[in-house]
Structure 1
Amino acid sequence: MQLLHLVLGAALTLVSFLPASTKAAEGKITVTDVLGRQVEVKAPVNKVILGEGRQIYFVAALDTDAPFKRVVGWRDDFEKADLDGYRDYLAKYPQIATLPKFGGSKEGTFDIEQAVALAPDVMIMNVEAKTATDDSKLIEKLAKLGIPVVFVDFRDKPFENTEPSMRLIGKLFGKEARSEEFIAFRKEQIDRVTERLAKANPAKPLVMMERAAGYTDDCCMSFGNENFGKMVEVAGGTNLAAKIIPGTFGVVNPEQVIASNPDQVIVTGSNWELFVPGGAWVGVGSGANAAEARNKLAALMKRPAYTGVKAVGNKQVHAIWHQFYNSPYQFVAIQQMAKWLHPELFKDLDPDQTMHSLHERFLPVAYKPGYWVSLTDKE
């Protein structure tokens, strides 16, 4: 018996000296995702499937030293939705070209057998995929195979869910301190706008926010009270579509735009050459050609929806990177929109420097300007 106690004591002593990550890896934790689901996950996770490729935006902010070290598979949208950003990461991490890709759960092309073969510790999904996953019973199927699913959100209700989403990923990755550092930086940058607006209380320009302008021939997709619609309000403007669109996304008809006669127009754009080759979209993003983007922006303002509109006559027309709507980087867009809406109040605010700081502190790729453009910009 005494020998048994000695053996047990030695074993306990050995365990106490094991690295914390080793001990954590042997156990499981229960996390709460943004839908309030309690999910048991092995942590810190070593192998992750990204339900959307653009989730690398937040993964890179936490695993800055090696953003793909946990990623064993991802959805095939990053290259298509943000070609310039994808090329930045591809140049530094060429191995991503061979990273296993999945179709979307919405399209019913997600390959469960492939997912099982990759043996992930967790799969991260965006909340907008929830309906499709429910319809296909994907979560239940993966659970039976030992693959837990957690939901995050940077798109449907980003002002409500960005911080808990970052904290969730921080907990899964064992990067809680890093996630709190990012959250504090984000809040600090938003406060630079909201605190000054609260003190000055300026008049609020009416803003038409057009989503993915030129992506299709139709006009005009927009935002309700969330996402870019909320960003307009936080930046000191009035969102034209706030009372027209009940949810986050919807459509404003051209006649309504003309009748509302907005003071400013802001469209979202990205390099969508793989989605709509040669399309009318404004290709703002990393390293974008400013002159080309400005010309395409001017062309979009010749559509019927903007006939005789005050904003167009005064050249108060702008384009901004679409992917701010689906990443934790919204604070940069808020700063830039605040400068457009209240140029005198924010003449000393430098969103370009904020974007540079974001890359320098949190992202593994170098910053290349090109994420916004205005008709009034100099050649």
Structure 2
Amino acid sequence: MRFLSLAALLASLVSALAVSFASAAETVTVTDVAGRSVTVKAPVERVILGEGRQIYLVAALDRDDPSRRVVGWRDDLSKADPLNYKAYVEKFPRLATLPTFGGMKEGVFDVEQAVTLKPDVLFMNIEAKVAVEEARLVETLSSVGIPVVYVDFREKPFENTETSMRLMGKLFGKEEVAEEFIAYRAKEIARVTDRLKQASLQKPLVMVDRAGGYSDTCCMSFGRENFGLMVEIAGGRNLAADLIPGTFGVVNPEQIVSANPDVVIVTGASWDAYVPGGAWVGVGPGADEAEARRKLANLMTRPAFTGVNAVRTGRVHAIWHQFYNSPYQFVAIQAIAKWLHPEIFRDLDPGKTMAELHERFLPLAYRPGYWVSLEARQ
């Protein structure tokens, strides 16, 4: 009887181990934003972020510790969004110790380093796809069992953001969190779109000055996507909609003067890592709003803007550039809607929405500074 019990116990242990190994080896097949079917062992435990700013969603999925699955990431967050980088590193010091990568598009992604980190998945932004294909990165990593999954919060955010959120949520085993965030995002956008449907609108003409002051070029802007589409959703007319065929492009100063926009919106961030002491407007969490306002006013002395309606009437604003590359676009839509139609959205408070986003989904406390505005010239 004793031997029989021991045999039964061993059989039970073997069975448990088999179940454990089967569970550990479970795979899921997902369709990424490039339309590719990709098989991944999930939930993933070791992740490489092909762009550091993917942390904006990872932080919501792994709110207790956004660093816990990340074994490497691109080095862009500290340069493109140093204010948030500092806040995240202060709370989660491990982030500062992670191996970093250069950009795929720039040809400085270290494939050998990626392989040594043994990730369960590498998330790449869709705009890197051409460079990835030219370098045959997918084939190289696939040969050692590392899948590549494309996500997108920038090229076509209103087509791909929800898909990307569901995709990452599924692979992280955090589907419920992702769906809750998606529903919240949709509800907050509807607070603008539903009210606009009931209103009789005069749609102001809006010039979005993308990364104004980042370079001497005047002026980068958006076509019918990203901030360009945010303007349209918020009840405005995007000046560059018919001038830029893709998501990103340039509008000539003469075209701005001729169009005479009613509203100017400059996107900005603290970009000392890229352009030390530049004319860019350093908005973001905890930003110096007085300094940002000073730099915004200085940008309006450029020939493209000095005489336009927006500057004369004080309808000039700056907003955090990274709304264009995160699941948080709904807050930007609310801010823009309030600027374009202050009477219709008198009771809408985008700052309160941003604070609620942090309280409900993010591990950091909200700090104001994501936008500033000028006043009318006397």
Secondary structure of the residue aligned to 2:109 is coil
Partner of 1:129: 128
C-alpha distance 297-92 of structure 1, shift in aligned 2 (>3 A): same
Q: Give 1:15 shift.
A: 7.1
Secondary structure of the residue aligned to 2:304 is helix
d(CA) in 1 for partners of 2:195 and 2:15?
56
Does structure 2 conserve the Cα–Cα contact (< 8 Å) formed by 1:355 and 1:367?
yes
Question: 1:216 aligned to 2:215?
Answer: yes
Partner of 1:62: 61
Aligned length: 371
Map Cα deviations across residues 196-226 of structure 1 (whole Å, 9 max, x no partner).
0001131110000110000001100000000
Does structure 1 conserve the Cα–Cα contact (< 8 Å) formed by 2:47 and 2:119?
yes
Q: Give 1:177 shift.
A: 0.4
RMSD: 1.8
d(CA) in 2 for partners of 1:191 and 1:238?
19
Map Cα deviations across residues 127-151 of structure 1 (whole Å, 9 max, x no partner).
0000111111111111112110000
TM-score by length of 2: 0.95
d(CA) in 2 for partners of 1:294 and 1:199?
34
Q: Give 1:29 shift.
A: 1.0
Partner of 1:287: 286
d(CA) in 2 for partners of 1:143 and 1:304?
52
Q: Give 1:308 shift.
A: 1.1
Secondary structure of the residue aligned to 1:130 is helix
Question: 1:328 aligned to 2:297?
Answer: no
Partner of 2:368: 369
d(CA) in 2 for partners of 1:11 and 1:164?
41
d(CA) in 2 for partners of 1:141 and 1:305?
48
Structure-to-structure mapping, 1:174-189, within 5 angstroms:
174-189=173-188
Q: Give 1:11 shift.
A: 6.5
Secondary structure of the residue aligned to 2:198 is helix
Does structure 1 conserve the Cα–Cα contact (< 8 Å) formed by 2:38 and 2:147?
yes
d(CA) in 1 for partners of 2:11 and 2:31?
36
Q: Give 2:287's aligned amino acid.
A: A
Does structure 2 conserve the Cα–Cα contact (< 8 Å) formed by 1:24 and 1:44?
no
C-alpha distance 145-269 of structure 1, shift in aligned 2 (>3 A): same
Q: Give 1:23 shift.
A: 5.2
Q: Give 1:261 shift.
A: 0.3
Q: Identity across aligned pairs (percent)?
A: 66
Q: Give 1:320's aligned amino acid.
A: I
Does structure 2 conserve the Cα–Cα contact (< 8 Å) formed by 1:235 and 1:335?
yes
Question: 1:238 aligned to 2:237?
Answer: yes
Does structure 1 conserve the Cα–Cα contact (< 8 Å) formed by 2:208 and 2:221?
yes
Does structure 1 conserve the Cα–Cα contact (< 8 Å) formed by 2:67 and 2:94?
no
Secondary structure of the residue aligned to 1:267 is strand
Secondary structure of the residue aligned to 1:328 is coil
Secondary structure of the residue aligned to 2:124 is strand
d(CA) in 1 for partners of 2:256 and 2:14?
71
Runs (5+) with no aligned partner, structure 1: none
d(CA) in 1 for partners of 2:95 and 2:332?
28
d(CA) in 2 for partners of 1:198 and 1:72?
46
Partner of 1:77: 76
Structure-to-structure mapping, 1:78-157, within 5 angstroms:
78-157=77-156
d(CA) in 1 for partners of 2:328 and 2:285?
14
Q: Give 1:111's aligned amino acid.
A: D
C-alpha distance 23-17 of structure 1, shift in aligned 2 (>3 A): closer
d(CA) in 2 for partners of 1:276 and 1:181?
38
Higher mean displacement: 94-103 or 42-51: 94-103
Q: Give 1:221's aligned amino acid.
A: M
C-alpha distance 24-271 of structure 1, shift in aligned 2 (>3 A): farther
Q: Give 1:26 shift.
A: 2.0
d(CA) in 2 for partners of 1:175 and 1:81?
27
Secondary structure of the residue aligned to 2:347 is coil
d(CA) in 2 for partners of 1:242 and 1:9?
68
Q: Give 1:355's aligned amino acid.
A: M
Q: Give 1:332's aligned amino acid.
A: V
d(CA) in 1 for partners of 2:253 and 2:137?
39
Question: 1:306 aligned to 2:305?
Answer: yes
